[in-house]
Structure 1
Amino acid sequence: MAELITLARPYAKAAFETAQAENRLAEWSEVLAFAAQVTANSDVRALLASPRVADERKADFLIELFGEGLSDSATNFVKLLAENQRLALLPHIHTLFETARADLERTVDIEVSAPYELTEEQQQKLSQALSKKLERKVSLATTVDTSLIGGVVVRTGDMVIDASVRGKLTKMAEALSS
């Protein structure tokens, strides 16, 4: 996995720089999201991995799926990936692109788990507090996890804030058993 991310990084950087220079971050984001979704399909992955299909034909296949709305630079990007046999990296390129875009736009997606459905007011307060703490615009997604007993668990990227009763009980049990 880390190897694929490493291979995808220069392509994601090039795509991001191109999108930024063209002032088309949203368009590139949509293109890469669609490409990532298409290439995640097992049949498409098999086609892209097939040595029997020419790289140029693989690129043409993806470009046809996009339809008429694909910019020249995005078309060239897909052709470049095909030429270098890197079309399978599109899901990773999309992930890295979105990370760079979020950094530029100072946004963050946060998942909050709670033992009950949070009210709109609670979500608003939590969003404001996290926005202030992280110094970013927060997009909140909530899920219900009744095993938490009380409190919340906040996740974004590799950061986890466990303010749940279950988490506190687990820490207490670990401290007592030490």
Structure 2
Amino acid sequence: MLKGAIARRYAGALFELARKQNTIDRTLDDVKQIAELFRQRKLAYLLREPKIPAQRKETALRQALASKVLPTSLNLALLIVQRELVDVMPNIATEFEKLVLDYRNQAIAEVTTAAQLDDAQKAIVKKALEHKTGKSIIMQTRVDPSILGGVVARVGDEMIDGSARNRLHILQQQLLAGVTATSSDDELASEDFAQPANR
């Protein structure tokens, strides 16, 4: 079975359990913590190595996690190691977070701008993305001067490219193709720049 399908199955089972036990937030923190722990080179080697006895692996996991995570989360970690799926844990954490966001009708938007946004500008971008997606948006912003201006936003698998760099690229393609952007020879319509990026 593919890594993504395995991750979705485990994340789905854990999510249903967390929902019934009313521990969604805590479980989300737990799976992120476990995924981070499994990325540590020393521990990852210990958990993956077939020659190391299962009991030693379980002891190491219990010492690292027992006092920090819910019993259900610890059981997940033990099961993942027992079934030799250590490499899948980061995917499980990602899939679990997606389920939590969907459950709450939320989405994470990675927003890139050429310069730092002030609070008023962030509010405008957030509102526009919420209108477009129909979801409550959690914004993560970063600055990349190479986009020249405008905004690039990634929400899940969707890329919304309203950057000046993309607008210039579209215009360049139109000029190369000999396409007249508008009926007027000296004016470009703003709709010409509103095309989504082809990524």
TM-score normalised according to structure 2 size: 0.82
Aligned-partner SS, 2:115: coil
Alpha-carbon distance between aligned partners in 1 of 2:26 and 2:97, rounded to the nearest angstrom: 12
The alpha-carbon deviation at position 69 of structure 1 amounts to 4.0
Q: Which residue in 1 is equivalent to 2:170?
A: 171
Q: Which residue in 2 is equivalent to 1:36?
A: 35
Q: Which residue in 1 is equivalent to 2:158?
A: 159
Question: Any conservation in 2 of the 1:112–1:152 contact (CA below 8 Å)?
Answer: yes
Q: Which residue in 1 is equivalent to 2:183?
A: none
Alpha-carbon distance between aligned partners in 2 of 1:5 and 1:17, rounded to the nearest angstrom: 18
The alpha-carbon deviation at position 123 of structure 1 amounts to 0.3
> Which consecutive segments of 4 or more residues in structure 1 shift more than 6 A?
none
Question: Any conservation in 1 of the 2:35–2:93 contact (CA below 8 Å)?
Answer: yes
The alpha-carbon deviation at position 67 of structure 1 amounts to 3.7
Question: Which amino acid in the other structure matches residue 172 of structure 1?
Answer: L
Question: Any conservation in 2 of the 1:56–1:82 contact (CA below 8 Å)?
Answer: no
Q: Which residue in 2 is equivalent to 1:64?
A: 63
The alpha-carbon deviation at position 134 of structure 1 amounts to 1.3
The alpha-carbon deviation at position 139 of structure 1 amounts to 1.1
- Decide which moves more: 74-83 or 26-35: 74-83
Per-residue CA deviations over 1:10-34 (Å, capped at 9, x if unaligned) read 1111111111111101111111000
Question: Any conservation in 1 of the 2:30–2:70 contact (CA below 8 Å)?
Answer: no
Aligned length: 177
Aligned-partner SS, 2:67: helix
Q: Which residue in 2 is equivalent to 1:14?
A: 13
- Work out the percentage of aligned pairs sharing the same amino acid: 27
Alpha-carbon distance between aligned partners in 2 of 1:56 and 1:92, rounded to the nearest angstrom: 25
Alpha-carbon distance between aligned partners in 1 of 2:97 and 2:9, rounded to the nearest angstrom: 14
Aligned-partner SS, 1:79: helix
Question: Any conservation in 2 of the 1:59–1:78 contact (CA below 8 Å)?
Answer: no
Query: With CA pairs under 8 Å and 6+ residues apart, which has the higher RCO, 1 or 2?
Result: 1
Is 1:132–2:131 an aligned residue pair? yes
Q: Which residue in 2 is equivalent to 1:4?
A: 3
Q: Which protein has the bigger helix share?
A: 1
Q: Which residue in 2 is equivalent to 1:94?
A: 93
State the structure with more CA Rg: 2
Alpha-carbon distance between aligned partners in 2 of 1:27 and 1:43, rounded to the nearest angstrom: 26
Q: Tell me, which stretches of 5 or more residues in structure 2 are unaligned?
A: 178-199
Alpha-carbon distance between aligned partners in 2 of 1:115 and 1:147, rounded to the nearest angstrom: 7
The alpha-carbon deviation at position 158 of structure 1 amounts to 1.3
TM-score normalised according to structure 1 size: 0.90
Question: Any conservation in 2 of the 1:56–1:79 contact (CA below 8 Å)?
Answer: no
